[in-house]
Structure 1
Amino acid sequence: MYDPDKRKLLSALSHGSIFFSLLGVSIAIPIVMLFVSDDPVVKENAKEALNFHLNVWLYGIIFGVLTLVLIGFLLLGILQLVNIVLPVMAILHSLSTTEQPYRYPFIFRLL
């Protein structure tokens, strides 16, 4: 049996790592969780957090290019809102439902 408190903490830390993106270490946190933890729910949450990071970066590049043609400003604003709201929802889900990993909507799953 896995420790539910440890599961909550590590899963929430994986999803919350997106808020450390300015430090440049945000993607390292879920990668470390993926390799260090033996809990399957924590591993799935870490994979989902990695997928979210990659999607946010991809959309940021696409919307940044679209900004050059003056339609990307609105899209960049929406991306910033999504970048805040979805991880908060994931953290709340990780803290309340420890037996099930959170799945971000509308992202490509590369891992």
Structure 2
Amino acid sequence: MAYGTALAVLADPTRRQVFERLREGPRPVNRIAHGLPVSRPAVSQHLKVLKDAGLVEERSEGVRRIYSLRREGLMELREWLDSFWGDALDAFKLEAERSYKAKKRDK
């Protein structure tokens, strides 16, 4: 899954709420849907999109489907976001070195 897919899928506020409810652990659709301003079938559709994006997985438990986060699905997004820290730190290091050299020259 590309990080762009994760960003696009999680851009929807309702889908993000569905996703965040799974942080607390695996749950069936009815528990995920409880209290949301959308119907249970709508939550099921959001779960399908999350599953297709590799962010959620499901397992059968009798007649119920239990959904849980696929933390691996977030790894590419996390690596992409982490790359910004590396770039920022590299830029900070270069600026600090330039500043240090400029001060030495001015003495």
Whether these two folds match at TM > 0.5 is no
Task: Name which structure has the greater RCO, CA cutoff 8 Å, separation 6+.
Answer: 1
User: Which protein shows a greater Rg?
Assistant: 2
Output the TM-score relative to the length of structure 1: 0.29
More strand by share: 2
More helix by share: 1
